[in-house]
Amino acid sequence: MNRIFAMLAVLSLALFSAQVQAQSDAPFEFINYELDNGLEVILVPDSSAPTVAVNIWYDVGSADDPEGRSGFAHLFEHMMFEDSARLSAGERDLLIEGAGGFLNAYVTIERTVYFETLPANQLPLALWLEADRMGSLGLSQENLNNQRAIVIEEYQFRVANQPNAAALQTLLFESYDYAPYNRWTIGNVDDLNNATLDDVRDFHANYYKPNNATLTVVGDIDVEQTRALIEQYFGPIPRQDDPPPLPEYVPSPRTAPEIRDFEDPLARVPVLALAHTLPERSHPDYAAAILLSDVLSGGASSRFAQNIVDSGLANTAIAGTSGNRGPGLFYMYFIPREGVELETIEDAYRAELNRIMDEGIPADELEKVINQIQVSRVTGLETAFSLAEAVQSANFYFGDPSAVFTEIDRLSDVTEADIQNVIETYLQPETRFEVRVVPVEGDPEPVPAAVVDDAEDPEDSLVATHIQEQQTPPEPLPINGFELPAFTETTLDNGMEVVVIERDELPIVSAGLYLPGGDAAVPDGLTGLGDLTASLLNRGTEARTAQEIALEIEQIGGSLGADSARDWLEMSVLTLSEDVDTGFDLLGDIALNPAFTEAEIELERNSAITSLQGGTLTDPFSLAARAFNRVLYPEHPYGNQTTVETLQAITRDDITDYYAAQLNPANAVLVIAGDIDAETAITLAEDTFGALEPLDETFAYPPVPVHEAGVQVYIVDRPGPQTRFIVGNLSADARDPNVYNLRVMNEILGGGGLSSRLARNVREEKGYAYTVGSGFRFSVDDGVFFATAASDNEVAPLAIEETIREIEIMRTEEVPADELETIKQGLIGSEALQIESLGSFVGSAASLKLNGLPLDRIGNTSQRYALVDAATVQEVAQQYITPENFVIIAVGDASVIEEPLSAFGPVTILDEE
């Protein structure tokens, strides 16, 4: 533990002050100051990537919703993307995405957050846009009607059409003993329908002001230049009256448990969840609660993992904390295995708490969880956005931005007595708020439709405290020079390709071993074999048990895992750079010596069955994707779908034979990235995998059948208020020479976030959907084009119609020159955002190598995008998107959608399986 403390002690030198620090050995400089109007500013220069994050937190959340207006802060967050004094609705999306960045916002109980991440030279644009948002808001009844409809679609998407969602919303909000926190952030539909323009005007006046906000800028910035820009754009916005305070919190602990039972027609498995009230996040007991939650469920060696999951009682067992400036929560969530009663789960988790009370916690167990937290904090500093969020959080909850590092000290000071005190004081059975989900037959409760208020707009529809003098977006700054990290490629004698990416900004190393095959290599009748095999790889080797593997990697704060994808199996490890030898020892052991014991097979099989029943077969998008693949790939591994029957059919011999056929160094790829030099990395690769013998035959992907059956419509009949649909066709593979042309085309159509044509039409203009978009899946030997959205059942056919109409326009009309240029520049600029994290480097390098493509595509796409013209965009849309052969999948209530969907083509009704 001391070695990690030593490393973080260096980080903690980066204390915040009003001036730039003098310490030359600190990894970051931090500047914290306040404008005359009360806006707090935090600057964090970081030149590890040519990016910048602009992040502004307003001190307002659902706790501040007006009486009878639950969800209003969330609705207002949407409204703040509409008109302003200088911008029309949707224009800020076009500007940021056209500059190569992304933007979004979110609301919690206590805060509203807006953020942009973009190339560093575009900093003036982000600051200008956020100052415009703070200083003015355009109001119209049309905008309010439109955003209300989108928020209600979001409510249906996240709550009404998802199993367990209403129960968990109830737990996470109504369990507090503080009335302002009891309001659901997403809101109540009736309350949303009652919102008026006057409500919006008043809310803006109360909360959206410089003296109620903190602006953080993180990334490749010049400090004095950034200070000047902030003063230029935000300085003229006047200070206003302080916002109305929340009522004082007076703790009132429960003296008897409160239990809510939910009969959920969308659920397939029961769920047990409970919460206890904690003190505020800055309270010393909260730090002890964090460690307790990790002792219980922090990783595969945790107590819940060992004694509840591995023992066969539950498929999922999670403990966690939710911290606020007011009361917090300690929560637990369980999905029992089939046949296990909820009361048995209650007894099991209570037994773990009692054991801690009776026996305490061994020092090495506390050391393990602290190491895990510390390493996760280090890896959380990789991107400008994640660092900005961490700094904001420290400032918001502790009143001290330096707590982004010094909170570690609070955790290291926690003792087993402190943890026992948390159990004794806060987690007694009588203080719990509990929800139980029971699957039932029937239809969900209907959701009221969004109200369209036809009241006339007021003459003055602009709310403004300040209108910027600069009327047009500012010019970007000069581009700073940036060099990609060094790439080294080599091939071991056994044929394994090794890629090393040297990047030393943080003391971590990430590595991934990729074996071609994956789902494509699974025999008929055994679908799910790839996922089951991957789940078993770190569940025991010839020398180590599953628990020994988990304990060894988690003791050093690292992570080790395996996954099965469509075209390959992957094993990965992440550690501190000083622990890389241990990481590779474990990676090599699980790859080369898996035990595949019968006991672990049964545990993982049961877990897979429960996950299938409680997750995949209840999620609308998963159901749509299963049907989509099934129709596109008849009699092909890609089209086969995992069922309870296929999982039950898998034997140990199937697993060992399947894995043996994949473990072939002759076509494997190993990518190592991070704080390690190429010579050391290649030596590790050779020592770990050099003795692995190549197989006589390498895996060959089976050919994909041509799909030309005309338009086919399939409805997966599922009760619920929404329809999730996918439309699409087979298309280009990863090696197709038109891949970059297709990316430009798709960015215009539906891949470009809220600025894309589908988002502007289906979401923003029509209000038919909360989520909508399009994309290409470029695989090794085939690819798919798809467009998807989730819409209310009544308007789903209209949403599909508009989606196809936008596709036809793309195929038949040339893209206007200004729209094309904006999208191209956005894609060129976004390249900077793809090289912030080790994970992005590892994944990109592996994908290129496995698809037989050169690594120079990383960070070197500007010329490819620059060459795309309007005629090419139209040509590739015509060639690779074929509406005459569309497969249309709709997951929704067939009694409502069957007749209108028949207008698109012959309809086949499927059940949820």
Strands (DSSP E) found in 220-288: 258-264, 271-278
State the pTM of this model: 0.91
If you average pLDDT over residues 470-477, what whole number do you get?
A: 91
Q: Check whether 24 has a pLDDT greater than 50.
A: no
Phi then psi dihedrals of residue 511, to 5 deg: -140, 145
Question: Mean pLDDT lowest for which of 12-16, 107-111, 454-458, 680-684?
Answer: 12-16
pLDDT in tens, 505-514: 889 999 999 9
pLDDT of 456 reads: 65
Spell out a b/e string for 563-586, using b for 16 or more CB atoms within 10 Å of the CB, else e.
bbbebbbbbbbbbbbebbebbbeb
Q: pLDDT confidence of 457, banded at 50, 70, 90?
A: low
578: its two tokens: 């000083």
pLDDT of 443 reads: 83
Q: If we measure between CA atoms, which residue out of 409, 391, 377, 309 comes closest to residue 9?
A: 409
pLDDT of 11 reads: 37
pLDDT of 186 reads: 94
pLDDT of 692 reads: 97
pLDDT of 460 reads: 63
Q: Which residue has the higher pLDDT, 830 or 341?
A: 341
Mean of all residue pLDDT scores within the chain: 91
CA pair distance 336, 340, nearest whole angstrom: 6
Let me know: does 512 contact 570? Beta carbons within 8 Å: yes
pLDDT of 458 reads: 60
If you average pLDDT over residues 185-201, what whole number do you get?
A: 91
Q: pLDDT confidence of 27, banded at 50, 70, 90?
A: low
pLDDT of 622 reads: 94
Let me know: does 370 contact 298? Beta carbons within 8 Å: no
786: its two tokens: 């798809």
Q: Check whether 112 has a pLDDT greater than 50.
A: yes
Q: Check whether 861 has a pLDDT greater than 90.
A: no
Q: pLDDT confidence of 830, banded at 50, 70, 90?
A: confident
Give the CA distances from residue 376 to residues 370, 558, 575, 674, in Å, rounded to whole numbers and listed in that order. 10, 9, 10, 15
Spell out a b/e string for 853-870, using b for 16 or more CB atoms within 10 Å of the CB, else e.
eebebbbebeebbeebbe
Q: How far is CA 874 from the centre of its chain?
A: 32
pLDDT of 459 reads: 58
CA pair distance 187, 109, nearest whole angstrom: 11
Q: Check whether 248 has a pLDDT greater than 80.
A: yes
Q: Which residue has the higher pLDDT, 451 or 301?
A: 301
CA pair distance 708, 706, nearest whole angstrom: 6
pLDDT in tens, 129-183: 999 999 999 888 888 888 999 999 999 999 999 999 999 999 999 999 999 999 9
Phi then psi dihedrals of residue 858, to 5 deg: -80, 120
Q: Check whether 461 has a pLDDT greater than 90.
A: no
- Report the relative pairing of strands 40-45 and 213-219 from DSSP bridges: parallel
Q: Check whether 5 has a pLDDT greater than 80.
A: no
Give bridge partners of residue 113 from the DSSP assignment. 57, 106
Q: How far is CA 821 from the centre of its chain?
A: 29
Q: pLDDT confidence of 259, banded at 50, 70, 90?
A: very high
pLDDT in tens, 93-105: 989 988 989 999 9
If you average pLDDT over residues 472-476, what whole number do you get?
A: 92
Question: What percentage of the chain exceeds 90 in pLDDT?
Answer: 74
Q: How far is CA 160 from the centre of its chain?
A: 21
